Structure 1
Amino acid sequence: MKALSLVLLSSAALAQAPKPAAAPTGYDCLIEPNQRIEIRSPTNALIDKILVERGSSVRAGDTLVLLDGSVEREALAGAQQRADSEAELRVARARADYAREKFRRREDLREQNYITAQDRDEAQAELRVAEAELALAVDNRRLAGIEAQRLSAVVKQRSLRAPFSGIVTERLQNPGELAFTGEGSRPILKMAQTNPLRVEVVLPVSVLGQVKAGRTAEIMPEAPLKGTWQASIKVVDRVMDSASGSFGVRLELPNPNGDIPAGVRCKVRFL
């Protein structure tokens, strides 16, 4: 009878004991743009045109902002003209040829004692000056070409282009305003890269060995979005947070058509 009572008590205790927690259906995560940048002017310049608005979709290389570059374009035209012109070079070459021929004749006459050594030396000095002027003309043309390249780069900086495909998230300035350079200045535009997207998740240390870079995971966004998407694990933190007993993981979520919005919460399930 006593043994039967012990068996009944043990059964009741087992029935009241807490059951093991079920495996989680997914970990909380956040879908974010892959990167956010601010479009600033590389120099102090007047804004001529802004070709996009807030919410505009742009491709890498698209022109976003045009800055006033009239002075630089005029300077570029002048430098290009000097670089292409051969007039100064032809004149210097003709003088050098004439001085070289003159010195040759003076040398022959000197050998026949028809002129003095001083006359021959003067012709030789004229030849050296003419050759120096020819070298200077060559250098001037080369420097004009270098200046044209520099001004061409300056003119290109007057067109601010998108460094990647994405969305214009904010427009902070307008045509006619003066754009300043430097980190403390106000940006003209803000952009976010939406393909691919970045998924950030914090995991407990107990699953550290189960999550490795290169593997695949399922991303399930919160309502009202539906469906699941495949993402690849890109970064697994090697430094743990001792206070919370967790570590971070970053995933890359392809979004070629822009169907997945950024900034929404989600669940991630590692396959």
Structure 2
Amino acid sequence: MKRWHWGVVAAVVALVAVGGIRAIGARRAQQEAQAALAAQRAQPIIELARTDVVRADTHELRRVLPISGSIKAVNSAFVKARVPGELQDLKVREGDSVQAGQVLARIERVEGQARLNQAQEQADAAKAQIDIAERQFNNNKALVDQGFISRSALDTSLNNLTAAQATHKAALAAVDLARKTLEDTVLRAPISGVISQRLAQPGERVAVDSKILEIVDLSHLELEAMLTAADSVDLRVGQEAALQVEGSARPVAARVARINPSAQPGSRSVLAYLEIADTTGLRQGLFAQGSVTMGSSSALAVPLSAVRTDRPAPYVQLVEGGKVVHRTVQMAQRGETDKETWVAVSGVPAGSQVILGHVGPLREGTLVKFTGGPPPQPSPGAPASKSPGA
């Protein structure tokens, strides 16, 4: 009887122990589920706008070279005084159009006219001396033939005639020089263009080589760009460029016309000259900047701003399965697409949703949801992306 009693007690204790163990396991499972749910609720969800991501697609990358510089006239000239004197009849001012050969001003010509008259009188006197020497030579020649004078007297008269002729030639040259000096008192436009500077006023006494006016030809303008030695290596005559001129909203097309064969002393920079196609509304001295197209290539690319470099290896942030994923990438050539710099990359599947750089760094595994519309689709007209195995 006692053995049976103890057996029942043992069975009851065993049942109680098993029930307790089951209750403890159920409570622990419930606690773990509640902890997981709480953790899931506590995990932040990042909201991204449609404009915060872009698809990695195949793009035509234009390799460009940034340039900047001042616009200059291909043809310009200074009108200078060639003779000293008082400046007269200067009527043109800045902004006036002039034609090549047009009379712009005069230098007082009284002194020049007097010198021309003096030279002419000296030439006439030299011509009279030739007549006298020639008659004397002819007379002496007749006397020599008759035997009245010696041969040496004839030689002397011949020398006098030769000297008189040389003096007359020198006098005529002096007349030409005086006439040229008188003509130089008239200041004419060497080229057609517009007056950009008036550097003297009527009534002033100017010296030789004094600058009076500056003329620029606005029909032919070019950009003078200073390039580093490395940038100038791939630059070629004929390459196209797009410029933006200060104060003008319209883009300006240009073409590399010339490249200086010598580097500048000290800076070792190289000057390149870009011919501007349409000069309407442009002026000399305006600042312009833009880029020269060096070539193009097609590649799978992402915006350069989306590539992060805060780790030893560059990477991009993707949205995959509603979460943030980090992918290490290898960068290749860079280029322009829709006025934005893109870079060819490998290590990213085509069509991936790439988070742009302005969003900032996100922890891998962060949940993501989009607001304001679905994720971006490939841009219209963009080349179709191909999978690596295609």
What TM-score, normalized by structure 2, do the two folds share? 0.49
Aligned twin of 1:112: none
User: 1:154, CA displacement in angstroms?
Assistant: 1.7
Provide the rounded CA distance (Å) in 2 between the counterparts of 1:129 and 1:238.
Answer: 64
Q: Of residues 189, 202, 207 in structure 2, which corresponds to 1:180?
A: 207
Equivalent residues of 2:79, 2:212 under 8 A apart: yes
Work out the percentage of aligned pairs sharing the same amino acid: 18
- Indicate the residue corresponding to 1:89 in structure 2: 130
2:185 is aligned to: 158
Task: Determine if contact 2:254/2:275 at 8 Å carries over to the other structure.
Answer: no
- 2:158 counterpart SS class: helix
Distance 1:100 1:247, change over 3 A: closer
Partner in structure 2 of residue 63 of structure 1: 103
For the Cα contact (< 8 Å) 2:83–2:181, is it kept in 1?
Answer: no
The answer to whether residue 201 in structure 2 is matched with residue 196 in structure 1 is no
What displacement does 1:74 show? 3.0
Aligned partners of 2:259, 2:81: CA distance in 1, in Å?
A: 33
User: Is the CA contact (8 Å cut-off) linking 1:200 and 1:248 kept in structure 2?
Assistant: yes
Determine the structure 2 residue equivalent to 1:249.
272
Question: What amino acid sits opposite 1:147 in the alignment?
Answer: A
Q: Please give the alpha-carbon distance, in whole angstroms, between the structure 1 residues aligned to 2:280 and 2:90.
A: 23
The partner residue of 1:128 within 145, 152, 155 is 155
Structure with greater helix share of residues: 1
* Distance in 1 of aligned mates of 2:266 and 2:85: 50
d(CA) in 1 for partners of 2:160, 2:266: 75
Give the conservation status (yes or no) of the 8 Å contact 2:71–2:224: yes
1:78 is displaced (CA, Å) by 4.2
Contact in 1 for aligned 2:263/2:269 (Cα 8 Å): no
Distance (whole Å) between structure 2 residues aligned to residue 136 and residue 241 of structure 1: 56
Q: What is the deviation of 1:51? A: 4.2
Residue number in structure 1 paired with 2:328: none
Q: Is the 8 A contact 1:202 1:247 kept in 2?
A: yes
Unaligned runs of 5+ in 2: 1-51, 294-390
2:250 maps to which residue?
Answer: 226
Deviations 1:32-71 (A, max 9, x none): 2336654432343111221422212223333333111222
Distance 1:143-1:232 versus aligned 2 partners, 3 A rule: same
How far 1:193 sits from its partner (Å)?
4.0
Which moves more between the two structures, 163-172 or 234-243?
A: 234-243
Distance 1:213 1:206 in 2: 16
C-alpha deviation, 1:147, in angstroms: 0.6
TM-score (norm 1): 0.67
- Write the deviation string for residues 178-233 of structure 1: whole angstroms up to 9, x where unpaired: 11246xx6x32233343422202345666544421343434443444535344333
2:169 to 132, 136, 142: 142
The answer as to whether partners of 2:137 and 2:161 remain within 8 angstroms in 1 is yes
User: Could you say if the C-alpha distance between residues 237 and 98 of structure 1 is closer, same or farther in structure 2, counting changes exceeding 3 Å?
Assistant: closer
1:195, 1:254 within 8 Å by CA — same for their partners in 2?
no
Kept in 1: contact 2:240–2:253 (CA 8 A): no
Equivalent-residue separation in structure 1 for 2:65 and 2:263 (angstroms): 26
Q: Deviations over 1:235-255 (max 9, x none)?
A: 157648998x97542223367
Quote the residue 2:364 is aligned against. Answer: none
The answer to whether the Cα contact below 8 Å between 1:241 and 1:247 also exists between their aligned partners in 2 is no
1:98 aligned onto 2:139: yes
Match of 1:53 among 93, 102, 123: 93
Shift of 1:82: 5.1
Alignment size in residue pairs: 238
- Deviation, structure 1 residue 174: 2.0
> 2:253, 2:260 → 1: CA distance?
20
Q: Deviations over 1:97-143 (max 9, x none)?
A: 11110121125xxxxxxxxxxxx44xx45433432331122112111
Partner of 1:31: 71
Cα pair 1:76 1:152 within 8 Å, conserved: yes
CA distance in 1, matches of 2:242, 2:166: 64
Amino acid at match of 2:185: R
Q: State the alpha-carbon separation in 1 of the partners of residues 264 and 162 from structure 2.
A: 67
**CA distance in structure 2 between the aligned counterparts of 1:220 and 1:71, rounded to whole angstroms:** 53
Unaligned runs of 5+ in 1: 1-14, 108-119
